[in-house]
Amino acid sequence: MANAWTNEPLANSIRNRDSKRNILCSQGFGPIIRPVLSRMELPFEKTDTCRFLFGFVDRCRKKSDRVRGIIGPEALRNSTFVTDSLDDEDLLNTCKLPLLFKWPLPKVLHITSHYIPILYLAKHKLSGLGRILREVVYVDVLLLIFAFSWISPFPVVHSIGISCFFIAFLLVYEMGYMANDEVAAEFEKDPIVIPDFEKSRDRINYVEPWFWAALFSFIGGGFITQINILETSGLTQRDLFLQWPTLVSSYGDAISTVRPLLLTALWLFVLLTMRVVYRVYNRTDKMTRTWLYPILQYYKTFAFILISPVNFVGAIALISQVAGRSFAYFLYRWGRKDWPGDELYMFRFLLFFGGLLIITPNLGTSHESVFTLQTAVLAIWISSRAVKPILGVFQNSKHVKDDTWSLNEE
């Protein structure tokens, strides 16, 4: 690979420099980059890359801070910086000689044409780790943990289990994204697909995700089953941390039972029906999709009731999530505008608190059983994404005589 894909103009420039203090800083993984560089025989004093297991932590740091930590601020201001990415704008503005190149060589080398779980979603739909953390982990996974795992006697064990079930869900849901791009490219008059869709077709796979989904479902089923075993042992959550070998042994007992297999079979059946709905969604017109989209969101939230129970407060949080996203999708399709940003989280905020204040008295539920620590945590979590759009409403509001909105506005 190093011999076939070396950027020779850049490599020769590095080899012929008078100064031998060359630093390589990359957002790529070190175990991949370092062996390739060793074959190129380039004189790098330091190679700063991302760790394989903790790359998500390394990528949260700015590249400029990483370089500054290696060579110091003064050396950075007097340095020459070469890149082909506008994401390095802060470094380009800091160094003495910024060089931004658009190399005629291929920018991306597909190391393998095999399917890699979640890669299509991360690379093409959500465009990077940052959005995965913000839109998937922070929104979807935390919702399931707060709604379902919170009420479990062993919330940590339950969180691991339900997260595994969600990963299985996401693996099958990702196939819907793949099929959506394929259908759009084949049938739509003005398709909106990823820029390098044709080059990425070799990563589309509709068979292997099911094996991965079955594996994560089985692992999740083991953790959920383990909770029943731990309950019968009389251990508390605190005891579990002090006696962690018990956690390992009880998990072995759990997966040796038939229940994880039953949970796996149940979840795969749920995923199969969801896949059918997503297939119908991809093959219908845009306006019809507005009524199918909420069904997919119900799968993403309420389907987990088949795995674990949810209380009243958790159910309100799930409903507000489904309604908020569905409302945003209605605006996107019927209003023919861009996908709403944080506004959908403001709608979720209104639904959640409205549900608590209006529905609770009518159901005869006591305030003590509703306004708990779980409710407080959910309220803080939901409010955290709603603060910005709520402040924006107040900042942008004006008298009706100054309103520029028009029904005929294009």
Question: How high is the pLDDT of residue 339?
Answer: 62
Question: How high is the pLDDT of residue 275?
Answer: 95
Question: How high is the pLDDT of residue 367?
Answer: 60
Phi, psi of 41 (to 5 degrees): 55, 50
Q: What is the mean pLDDT of residues 153-168?
A: 93
Residue 91 and residue 83 in contact, taking contact as beta carbons nearer than 8 Å: yes
Which distant-in-sequence residues (6+ apart) come within 8 Å of 101 by Cβ?
10, 82, 83, 84
Q: What is the mean pLDDT of residues 332-347?
A: 72
d(CA 350, CA 332): 20
Question: How high is the pLDDT of residue 144?
Answer: 95
In the predicted structure, residue 229 carries a pLDDT above the cut 80: no
Q: Mean pLDDT check: name the lowest of 15-24, 79-88, 240-249, 322-331.
A: 240-249
Q: What is the pLDDT of the chain when averaged over all its residues?
A: 80
Q: Which two tokens stand for residue 389?
A: 């759009």
Q: Please name which of 17, 2, 4, 37 lies closest in space to residue 82, comparing C-alpha atoms.
A: 17
Query: What percent of the chain clears pLDDT 90, i.e. is strictly above it?
Result: 23
Query: Within the chain, how many helices (H) and strands (E) appear?
Result: 22, 4
| Domain ranges within the chain, ordered by starting residue | 2-100, 116-139+154-279
pLDDT tens profile 273-306: 999 999 999 988 888 888 999 999 999 999 999 9
Q: Please name which of 198, 204, 175 lies closest in space to residue 186, comparing C-alpha atoms.
A: 198
Q: What is the mean pLDDT of residues 225-232?
A: 80
In the predicted structure, residue 410 carries a pLDDT above the cut 50: no
Question: How high is the pLDDT of residue 67?
Answer: 83
Which distant-in-sequence residues (6+ apart) come within 8 Å of 156 by Cβ?
149, 237, 240
Residue 222 and residue 260 in contact, taking contact as beta carbons nearer than 8 Å: yes
What confidence tier does 202 reach under pLDDT thresholds 50, 70, 90?
Answer: low
Q: What is the mean pLDDT of residues 113-118?
A: 71
Phi, psi of 267 (to 5 degrees): -70, -40
Which distant-in-sequence residues (6+ apart) come within 8 Å of 8 by Cβ?
none
Residue 121 or residue 262, greater confidence: 262
pLDDT tens profile 38-77: 777 777 878 888 886 666 666 667 787 888 888 888 888 8
Give 250: exposed, middle or buried? Use CB within 10 Å, 0-12, 13-18, 19+.
Answer: buried
What confidence tier does 264 reach under pLDDT thresholds 50, 70, 90?
Answer: very high
Question: How high is the pLDDT of residue 352?
Answer: 87
pLDDT tens profile 21-34: 788 888 778 777 78
In the predicted structure, residue 372 carries a pLDDT above the cut 60: yes
In the predicted structure, residue 130 carries a pLDDT above the cut 50: yes
Most confident of 89-93, 128-132, 187-191, 242-246: 89-93
Query: What percent of the chain clears pLDDT 70, i.e. is strictly above it?
Result: 77
d(CA 301, CA 104): 46
Instruction: Kindly calculate the radius of gyration of the chain based on its CA atoms and give it in whole angstroms.
Output: 25
Question: How high is the pLDDT of residue 333?
Answer: 77
**What's CA 139's distance to the chain center, in Å?**
8
Residue 221 and residue 167 in contact, taking contact as beta carbons nearer than 8 Å: no
Question: How high is the pLDDT of residue 271?
Answer: 96
Q: What is the mean pLDDT of residues 174-200?
A: 73
